Amino acid sequence: MEFTPIIGLEVHVQLLTKSKLFCGCPNLFNPDNPNVQTCPVCIGLPGSLPVMNQEALRLSQKTAMALNLNLANFTKWDRKQYYYPDLPKAYQISQFDLPFSYDGWVEVTLPSSGETTKVRLIRAHLEEDAGKNMHDESGRGGDSKVDLNRTGTPLLEIVSEPDIRSAEEARVFLEELRLLLRYIEVSDCNMQEGSMRCDANVNLHVHEDGEKIPTPIVEVKNLNSFRGVEAAIEHEIKRQIKAWETDRKRIGDVPKETRGWDADRGQTFGQRGKEDAADYRYFPDPDLVPVTTTDEQFDAIRATLCVFPADRRNSYVSDLGLSDYDASVIVDQGREYADYFDEVTSVCGDGKQAANWLTQDVQRELNDRKIEIAEFSILASVLGTVLQKIVKGEITIKSGRAVFTELLAQSDDGSDVTANSVDTIIADKGLGKVQDTGKIDIAIQAVIGNERNAKAVEDVRGGKQQAVGPLIGQVMRELKGADAGSVRQMIIDKLTS
Amino acid sequence: MDITGSTTGQLLDAMQNGTVSAVEVTQAYLNEISAHGETVGAFLSVDSEGSLTQAAEVDRKRSSGESLGKLAGLPVAVKDNICTKGLATTCASRMLENFVPPYDAHVTTQLQNADAIIIGKANLDEFAMGSSTENSALQVTRNPWNIDHAPGGSSGGSAAAVGARLASMGIGSDTGGSIRQPASFCGVVGMKPTYGRVSRYGLVAFASSLDQIGPFATDVTGTARLLESIAGYDVRDSTSVDRPVPGYSATVEQPLENLRVGVVSEFFGEGIDSDVDASIRAAIDVYRSLGAEVSEVSLPHTRYAVATYYLIACSEASSNLARYDGVHYGRRAEQFENMIDMYAASRAEGFGAEVKRRIMLGVFALSEGYSDQYYLKGLKVRRLIRNDFDAAFENVDVLAGPTCPTPAFKIGELVDDPLQMYLSDICTISANLAGIPGVSVPAGFSSNGLPIGLQLLAGPFEEEKLLRAARMFERETVWHTKRPSFS
Amino acid sequence: MLSPEDVQKVATLARLKLSEEELEQIGHQLGEILDYVAVLDEVDVSEVEPMAHVADVFNAFRADETRVSLPREESLSNAPKTDGKYFLVPQILENA
Ligand SMILES: [Mg+2]
Ligand SMILES: [Zn+2]
């Protein structure tokens, strides 16, 4: 049987504002202290009215720019009506026919094939989040609990076209989305805490006798980890293949099904269908006025944007000569990591050198210490200074490592390490490359003239180049920071010319 | 001094002169409430203790020379759909019978800042849905001019309280005539300001795009004084308009020169009571006698106003009232099978027949497959109605006509005929759809002794002009000085 | 005219538990009102923009600043049932 999986995602992302979307309650994840971030507006008390948080709109528009979405100069608010205990007004303030943005795309590269594709976006709109219901787990049918701390948190809903063709692509799309939103600092996209949530619409196009037959669409709800998204879609594709083989149902034969994901059992499961199809009865919210944004205002927001991850990867490859792999490793660690890299590169002037150090020495320390780049005690400017000395040939890579180790040791002891510390360490430990050939000459003469080395000197003269090693070692011990390569050449020149 | 027979201006002067104290004023009204309150049924709750405390505070401020607000010591009846922190706010519904808001409406705060005395919360049609106050689930309110008749509605409690002189002023809300129509029925002045002129923050919503809070008083000057104290921009209401509030009471005595009055032909159509017709025509003659230029004006889409209004108002109401589901506040049914059933049972118990009817109409008008035909069509006709007014105000300063085609009907007369009841709002509804201000002033009595109201309408934010035009008429007539026999 | 099924469907959407009698009465009254509303069929609105807001107000914003929330006991003070921390509702049937 030949088939193509057809997958579209709906992603909900909480915005990083200080206050909620329509009231001044704090926007904080606070599950342990229920119903303390609530007020007449977000409890939906009779008579209360919403007033829009301007920053939520700004962050949304910024996001739309990063997602290549078109921005609307005119947008408005609508009420979406349904009943649930975590939705106190029994309607959600959302956007229906005139969202603030539409028609965009995200580029994703699949690790398995290296192939790059564009996933198109239908729209992104802004809405308020609901609260949280907690069900009685005892099975005795006890009351459910409702916490409204989250009610009214600004939420961005991003809807993709069904352009995704595999579970892997869905995961990579989400990862790229998270990276992008974190880069532009609009959301922390923490799936565990629910600041990023995903629903997947999945069906198959079965290819049979030259015909393309779409199977019924299934919506898998509330996926709350990247692995979950991938596994649930994978499972759903397999399940749908089996279903097609047994019932041969096509799209339209049955109403759209909603399924949940049981991560423990690795299965999607049918949720009891609603007796009545939803009828959200959208209409413009009379309590909120429309919003207009001029192109000049859009330009002002655009001017605050950072370089996006995809552009950054490209420029690392083409401008700095990094490999695709290294460029991705650096960019995918997040904006602070890439910013650190950029600063090291700009101080030392060599992207490749910076990339080597970051992906090896620095990364090893971060892993060992289980910290993020932001917590790393050697600032980018300091590491850049060390690497600059290597690049200029003032110290060897080996000496650079020694300086790096010493910087870490000093900061572990509680001192602040600066670019000046680098010079001090080099001076104190005599790690500077000895540039004075006269000095080196004297040292070589002394070693060659030493009785103990008579045999080695003879061997080198006789053409046994490997005998030069111990001689280099002695010279180097005498002159910390001399370049081993030049010392070797000078000894050979002296003995064989 | 006849305290409760005085106007707000007379009371303010007397308190200023030291003739009476604020406590004496409040006590006089409380005495009237004790004597006639039960007959009229205007109040759902009376805050005797709190109002005397407030009055004593006003007296203290006055004697210590502290600055006082514009309404210092004036008792006001506040419609019970306006939130008062710590005081029950029931909307005359079983649903909110025990609801005590943890916050004040903007208007409540404004009244307190003006040192007014909130003497009690006034009855209304449940959630302000109705034209007679008969839809109150909690109490019957009677017309002070004839207790067999309805006070009008939905702000019937506030209008009856002022009409019966149980309060010096009243606060109501007007969604389709709910201030002007009861003002007309109870023989007092009532005004609906321009949409956005007074903050709706803390007004329990019926139809958000139509609701507007406004004042009642026994005369135009009192109305102007109360309006200027409650009007103004409020950041908590996104639909409130940020423009300065003129000092209405300072200019209200100035007659308008070259006043052009448009008489709305459609307001004198089929169904108009002959006494009403005669009184309003006489009122228009008063303007003629004052030198105003009077002309006939047509608002051609008036015929569609009631239908348009019910589609829009009920659609919004069905959404605004969805929140009463027995979860976070309000009534919860005792018997139910599961959560869904709890919602439906609580709402069935908590809402009265008219509220249910309007919610049903609104849900239907917004539902899939019907919303274009009903809700959206309503929004489009609404624009045509507004366009009629814009065109009319190019040629006239104010529009005039009856507030209601009939004087107060009998209690029980129309309750079984909702459509007929809706049609009694024919003259008031258009102003809400268009968002313009309107005022009803006493303009005569029917042969059986019931008050008749003259309605004046003006363009958006022309409250000052409207009040001055109303005062021009009032000054020439005695209707506003008449009092119901027992008061 | 609305069928009894239509009326029941609306009542379900409206979350109103109506008796047979009420369904019939409201159905009848809705029918009358809809007949009356049909007067709007006379109006040609093909060129008319809907008017959801009557005032020309745009961009009513609030700065992103936090304000003091209500104390929990006040937030819960009007709730029919609580445990002092949460609003309590009868067991929610998933997706019901
Ligand atoms: Mg959504
Ligand atoms: Zn809040």
CB contact under 8 A, C53 and B209: yes
Query: Does residue B334 carry a pLDDT above 80?
Result: yes
CA of A92 to the centre of ligand 1 (A): 9
Enter the pTM of the model. Answer: 0.92
Is B380 assigned a catalytic role?
no
CB contact under 8 A, C78 and B329: yes
Please report the residues numbered 27 through 66 in chain C whose beta carbons come closer than 8 angstroms to any beta carbon of chain B.
29-30, 32-33, 36-37, 39-40, 42-43, 45, 48-55, 57, 60, 62
Please report the residues numbered 333 through 352 in chain B whose beta carbons come closer than 8 angstroms to any beta carbon of chain A.
339-340, 343
C-alpha span between B132 and B137 (Å, rounded) = 13
- What local confidence, expressed as pLDDT, does residue A255 receive? 86
State the pLDDT confidence band at A277, using cuts at 50, 70 and 90. low
C-alpha span between B295 and B389 (Å, rounded) = 15
C-alpha span between B315 and B360 (Å, rounded) = 9
- What local confidence, expressed as pLDDT, does residue A276 receive? 47
Q: Is B70 on the interface with C (CB under 8 A)?
A: no
Please name the member of B322, B340, B419 whose beta carbon is closest to the beta carbon of C96: B340
Is B485 assigned a catalytic role?
no
C-alpha span between B429 and B437 (Å, rounded) = 11
Q: Which of A33, A262, A289 to mutate to test the interface with C (most CBs of C within 10 A)?
A: A289
On average, the pLDDT of chain C sits at 93
Which chain A residues are Cβ-neighbours of B368 within 8 angstroms? 279, 281
CA of A85 to the centre of ligand 1 (A): 16
For residues A153-172, average pLDDT? 97
Query: Does residue C93 carry a pLDDT above 70?
Result: no
ipTM score assigned to the predicted complex: 0.97
CA of B143 to the centre of ligand 2 (A): 41
C-alpha span between A449 and A306 (Å, rounded) = 62
Cα A246 to Cα A208, A242, A249, A277: the distances in Å are 15, 6, 9, 27
Which chain A residues are Cβ-neighbours of B171 within 8 angstroms? none
Please name the member of C2, C51, C55 whose beta carbon is closest to the beta carbon of B382: C51
The segment with the largest mean pLDDT, out of A178-187, A415-424, B421-430, is: A178-187
pLDDT digits (tens, 9 = 90+) for A35-57: 999 999 999 999 999 999 999 99
Residue indicated by tokens 């047994």: A246
Query: Does residue A340 carry a pLDDT above 90?
Result: yes
* Domain-wise residue ranges, chain B: 8-258+439-481
State the pLDDT confidence band at C95, using cuts at 50, 70 and 90. very low
Strand partners, A155: A14, A127
Of A440-444, B7-11, B61-65, B285-289, the poorest mean pLDDT is in A440-444
Residue indicated by tokens 């795009």: B209
Q: Yes or no: say if B151 and B67 are a contact pair by the CB < 8 Å rule.
A: no
Which chain C residues are Cβ-neighbours of B357 within 8 angstroms? 26, 29-30
State the pLDDT confidence band at B123, using cuts at 50, 70 and 90. very high
Judged by its nearest atom, the ligand closest to the C-alpha of residue A124 is 1
C-alpha span between A104 and A119 (Å, rounded) = 9
Q: What's the token pair of residue A434?
A: 């000895």
Q: For residue B123, report the phi and psi dihedrals to the nearest 5 degrees.
A: -70, 160
User: Which residue of the set B154, B158, B318, B424 is catalytic?
Assistant: B154
Q: Which 8-state DSSP code applies to residue C82?
A: B
Please name the residues in contact with B121: beta carbons below 8 A apart, sequence gap of 6 or more.
Answer: B43, B44, B45, B47, B77, B78, B79, B80, B84, B87, B88, B89, B90
- What local confidence, expressed as pLDDT, does residue A275 receive? 43
C-alpha span between A351 and A340 (Å, rounded) = 12
Q: Yes or no: say if B479 and B189 are a contact pair by the CB < 8 Å rule.
A: no
On average, the pLDDT of chain B sits at 97
State the pLDDT confidence band at A446, using cuts at 50, 70 and 90. confident
Is B178 assigned a catalytic role?
yes
Say how many CA atoms lie within 13 Å of B258 toward its Cβ: 1
Q: For residue C88, report the phi and psi dihedrals to the nearest 5 degrees.
A: -110, 140
Q: Which of B320, B341, B347, B364 to mutate to test the interface with A (most CBs of A within 10 A)?
A: B320
Please name the member of B342, B356, B382 whose beta carbon is closest to the beta carbon of C26: B356
State the pLDDT confidence band at A273, using cuts at 50, 70 and 90. low
Cα B24 to Cα B348, C12, C40: the distances in Å are 45, 54, 55
Which chain C residues are Cβ-neighbours of A133 within 8 angstroms? 89, 92
CB contact under 8 A, B329 and A52: no
For residues B428-432, average pLDDT? 98
Which chain A residues are Cβ-neighbours of C95 within 8 angstroms? 258, 271-274
Judged by its nearest atom, the ligand closest to the C-alpha of residue A24 is 2
CB contact under 8 A, A46 and B91: yes
Paired sense of beta strands A267-270 and A78-81, if any: unpaired
Helix H or strand E segment including A478: helix A468-478
CA of A279 to the centre of ligand 1 (A): 14
Of A442-456, B283-297, B341-355, the poorest mean pLDDT is in A442-456
Q: For residue A403, report the phi and psi dihedrals to the nearest 5 degrees.
A: -65, -45
Residues in chain C: 96
C-alpha span between A122 and A97 (Å, rounded) = 12
C-alpha span between B475 and B5 (Å, rounded) = 18
Judged by its nearest atom, the ligand closest to the C-alpha of residue A153 is 2
For residues B130-150, average pLDDT? 97
For residues A259-279, average pLDDT? 80
3-state secondary structure of B77: strand
Q: Which residue of A has its CA nearest to B316?
A: A286
Judged by its nearest atom, the ligand closest to the C-alpha of residue A158 is 1
State the pLDDT confidence band at C86, using cuts at 50, 70 and 90. very high
Helix H or strand E segment including A461: helix A454-461
List chains adjacent to chain A, taking adjacency as at least 3 C-beta pairs closer than 8 Å.
B, C
- What local confidence, expressed as pLDDT, does residue A435 receive? 63
Fold classified for B8-258+439-481: Amidase signature (AS) enzymes (3.90.1300)
Query: Does residue B465 carry a pLDDT above 80?
Result: yes
Please report the residues numbered 347 through 366 in chain A whose beta carbons come closer than 8 angstroms to any beta carbon of chain C.
none
CA nearest neighbour of B95 among B363, B358, B326: B326
Query: Does residue B401 carry a pLDDT above 50?
Result: yes
Residue indicated by tokens 């205007």: B42
3-state secondary structure of A333: coil
Q: Yes or no: say if A282 and A273 are a contact pair by the CB < 8 Å rule.
A: no
Residue B464 to chain C, least CA–CA distance (Å)? 18
C-alpha span between A217 and A233 (Å, rounded) = 12
What is the helix, strand, coil percentage profile of chain B, to 5? 45, 15, 45
Please name the member of A19, A52, A148 whose beta carbon is closest to the beta carbon of C66: A19
Q: Which residue of C has its CA nearest to B436?
A: C54
Please name the residues in contact with A215: beta carbons below 8 A apart, sequence gap of 6 or more.
Answer: A203, A204, A205, A206, A240, A243, A244, A249, A250, A251
State the pLDDT confidence band at B487, using cuts at 50, 70 and 90. low
Could you give the strand order of the β-sheet that contains C87-89, starting from the edge strand earlier in sequence?
A132-134, A144-147, C87-89
What is the helix, strand, coil percentage profile of chain C, to 5? 40, 5, 55
Compute the count of residue pairs across chains A and B with CB atoms less than 8 Å apart. Answer: 99
CA A278 to chain centre: 36
Domains of chain C: 1-64 (1.10.20.60)
pLDDT digits (tens, 9 = 90+) for A74-109: 999 999 999 999 999 999 999 999 999 999 999 999
Residue indicated by tokens 């790096």: A404
For residues B199-204, average pLDDT? 98
Residue C21 to chain A, least CA–CA distance (Å)? 23
3-state secondary structure of A422: helix
User: Which residue of the set B79, B121, B192, B465 is catalytic?
Assistant: B79
If one counts every other C-beta atom within 10 angstroms of the C-beta of residue C33, the result is 23
Paired sense of beta strands C87-89 and A74-75, if any: unpaired
Q: A419-429 and A397-412 are packed helices; what angle lies between their axes, rounded to 10 degrees?
A: 110
CA nearest neighbour of A231 among A272, A202, A188, A270: A202
Burial class of residue A275 (count of CB atoms within 10 Å of its CB; 0-12, 13-18, 19+): exposed
CA B140 to chain centre: 18
